[in-house]
Amino acid sequence: MPEQPVSETTERPDAPGGAAERPTGTALFDAVVNLCKRRGFVFPSAEIYGGIRSTYDYGPLGALMLRNVKDAWWRAMVQERDDVVPLDAAILTNPKVWEASGHLATFTDPLVDCRSCHERSRADHLESDASGRPVCPHCGSIDLTEARPFNLMFKTFVGPVEDEASVAYLRPETAQGMFVNFSNVQTTMRRKPPFGIAQLGRSFRNEITPGNFVFRTREFEQMEMEYFVPPAESPTWFAYWCEQRMSWYRRYGIPETMLQLRHHETEELSHYSSGTADVEFAFPWGWGELEGIANRTDFDLKAHSEHSGVRLEYFDQASGERYVPHVIEPAAGATRTMMAFLIAAYDEDEVAGERRSVLRLHPRLAPYQVAVLPLSKKPELAPLTDEILAACRRHVVCERDETQSIGRRYRRQDEIGTPLCVTVDFDSLNDRRVTVRDRDTTAQERIAVDDVASYVLERVGN
């Protein structure tokens, strides 16, 4: 039998009046990491060979969810806008790009080695002891080497000969693809500032201290947009994009209490930036960056103009106006953000006296939007199950789940964040009605088979 409707609070446990059952801190982190492995979101890479430090493979549910995170970004940044166009630039490119961008000269982290425990740490991340001396974050020793710079770009060789002339780098960010294609895009798409170029894809950094699960990895996915504006308008657009990006995280379910915008102090600003703000999330170990929003001025276009000898600027033929646009860059990490969404969504509560874990993900971010559950494996239920799946699959990702008791199946779907379960029972064969059950409230309603797809679409939203 489908489980009885249970009336429960839908409030977040950390909201006033909610039952404070959700784990916090390390327990929350462990619960999420454990769930990711157990339910096929994220596996250690090449686990059968013992893995490779801080490298991960996205399993079936992780691949679905990561795609959803990127789609959600794409929807907001490209699809829903008139003024942003997409780009998909190469990962391997001319190394002169990295010379011009400053990555070859300055993309370095200062490093120290601990002479006691031999762990390596970033010099700019060390805490100090009572006398102000930096201490090793691993063993507390103050016996540290001098800081040394380390270039974070992965170097490789293009073609069969491994010499200086064939050196290339894996891109450490996607942004430069937008700058070097500025004129191509602007002229082919007939754009006038303000307009943006958006791109998502893999980036690679030989991070010294990867860790905290997929928070910091050497291979990761970025979602970046370069918004080219008339110079005088850049402060206004910087404020605009800070607001837009904060509202994106809210739209997809990060609660206000777990989100903050932190403006950089002047001394913290990069050499090219006239203003930077980080969107930060309350990770179990403290606030961490999800996205950096920077006013990069005309630094990048000017640098590439100088190095390439090709003028990168906006010229308005009608008015004769000519200038180098300034750039506002919202640069986010897809993999890191997916982790934030998982942490924000993880919850534990009780249903009908039984403890459950539930991912209260935004329906569009959940790996599956709908699970269709025939009450039994009897062949009579199969055609209607197929019919519902076919209708829903035109719009969303669905799972057919037909093993074990219906209660077990609901728990399984709750744990992976499936917002809606549709149960097909023997009455459905006569009345063409099915039970739809809501992940968060566990409330159930009976609706017509012919309405399932539109019901789902409305509930899932965008």
Site size for ligand ATP (CB under 6 A):
16
One residue of 39, 70, 103, 205 binding ligand ATP per CB under 6 A: 205
| Of residues 154-183, those binding ligand ATP (CB under 6 A) | 173
- The structure tokens listed for 34 are 């454990």
One residue of 22, 70, 216, 296 binding ligand ATP per CB under 6 A: 216
H or E element at residue 452: helix 452-460
Question: What's the alpha-carbon Rg for the chain, to the nearest Å?
Answer: 25
351 in helix, strand or coil? Answer: strand
State how far the Cα of 129 lies from the Cα of 127, in Å rounded to an integer.
7
Of the two residues 28 and 269, which places its CB atom closer to ligand ATP in the complex?
Answer: 269
Percentage helix, strand, coil for the chain under 3-state DSSP, each rounded to 5: 35, 30, 35
Q: Find the distance separating the first CA and the last CA of the chain, reported in whole Å.
A: 32
Of the two residues 54 and 234, which places its CB atom closer to ligand ATP in the complex?
Answer: 54
Residue by residue, DSSP assigns 31-53 as HHHHHHHHTTSEEETTGGGT--T
Q: Near ligand ATP by CB under 6 A, which window of 44-52, 91-99, 330-338, 432-440? A: 330-338
Q: Are 371 and 420 in contact (CB under 8 A)?
A: yes
Of the two residues 222 and 369, which places its CB atom closer to ligand ATP in the complex?
Answer: 222
Question: Taking CB under 6 A as the rule, does residue 98 contact ligand ATP?
Answer: no
Question: Taking CB under 6 A as the rule, does residue 331 contact ligand ATP?
Answer: yes
Q: From the CB of 404, what's the least distance to ligand ATP, in Å? A: 36
State how far the Cα of 231 lies from the Cα of 367, in Å rounded to an integer.
42
H helix runs in 107-229, sequence order: 175-180, 182-188
Q: From the CB of 77, what's the least distance to ligand ATP, in Å? A: 14
Of the two residues 217 and 435, which places its CB atom closer to ligand ATP in the complex?
Answer: 217
Question: Taking CB under 6 A as the rule, does residue 292 contact ligand ATP?
Answer: yes
One residue of 71, 113, 207, 438 binding ligand ATP per CB under 6 A: 207
Of the two residues 179 and 314, which places its CB atom closer to ligand ATP in the complex?
Answer: 179
Q: Are 212 and 245 in contact (CB under 8 A)?
A: no
- The structure tokens listed for 94 are 């001319």
Question: Taking CB under 6 A as the rule, does residue 333 contact ligand ATP?
Answer: yes
Question: Taking CB under 6 A as the rule, does residue 54 contact ligand ATP?
Answer: no
> Mapped to the 3 state alphabet, what secondary structure does 237-272 carry?
HHHHHHHHHHHHHHHCCCCHHHEEEEECCHHHCCCC
- The structure tokens listed for 443 are 């409330």
Q: From the CB of 71, what's the least distance to ligand ATP, in Å? A: 17
Q: From the CB of 344, what's the least distance to ligand ATP, in Å? A: 15
- The structure tokens listed for 194 are 């303000």
One residue of 70, 171, 336, 409 binding ligand ATP per CB under 6 A: 336
Question: Taking CB under 6 A as the rule, does residue 332 contact ligand ATP?
Answer: yes
Q: Which residue's entry shows tokens 């004129």? A: 183
Side-chain half-sphere CA neighbours of 241 within 13 A: 31
Of the two residues 219 and 440, which places its CB atom closer to ligand ATP in the complex?
Answer: 219
Question: Taking CB under 6 A as the rule, does residue 55 contact ligand ATP?
Answer: no
Question: Taking CB under 6 A as the rule, does residue 22 contact ligand ATP?
Answer: no
Of the two residues 101 and 222, which places its CB atom closer to ligand ATP in the complex?
Answer: 222
- The structure tokens listed for 45 are 């890479």
H or E element at residue 30: helix 25-38
Of the two residues 69 and 453, which places its CB atom closer to ligand ATP in the complex?
Answer: 69
Of the two residues 204 and 314, which places its CB atom closer to ligand ATP in the complex?
Answer: 204
Burial class of 322 by CB neighbour count within 10 A (0 to 12, 13 to 18, 19+):
exposed
Count of C-beta atoms within a 10 Å radius of residue 11: 12
**Residue 265 gets which letter from DSSP?**
P
Of the two residues 73 and 455, which places its CB atom closer to ligand ATP in the complex?
Answer: 73
Q: Which residue's entry shows tokens 């002169």? A: 96
Question: Taking CB under 6 A as the rule, does residue 389 contact ligand ATP?
Answer: no
Q: Which of 303, 257, 245 is nearest to 281 (CA)?
A: 257
One residue of 3, 226, 291, 298 binding ligand ATP per CB under 6 A: 291
H or E element at residue 221: strand 219-229
- The structure tokens listed for 212 are 């905290």
Name the residue whose CB lies closest to ligand ATP. 333
Question: Taking CB under 6 A as the rule, does residue 103 contact ligand ATP?
Answer: no
Site track for ligand ATP across 219-258, x = CB under 6 A: -x-x------------------------------------
Question: Taking CB under 6 A as the rule, does residue 289 contact ligand ATP?
Answer: yes
Q: From the CB of 290, what's the least distance to ligand ATP, in Å? A: 5
Of the two residues 281 and 455, which places its CB atom closer to ligand ATP in the complex?
Answer: 281
Q: For binding to ligand ATP (CB under 6 A), which residues are involved?
A: 173, 205, 207, 216-217, 220, 222, 289-292, 331-333, 335-336
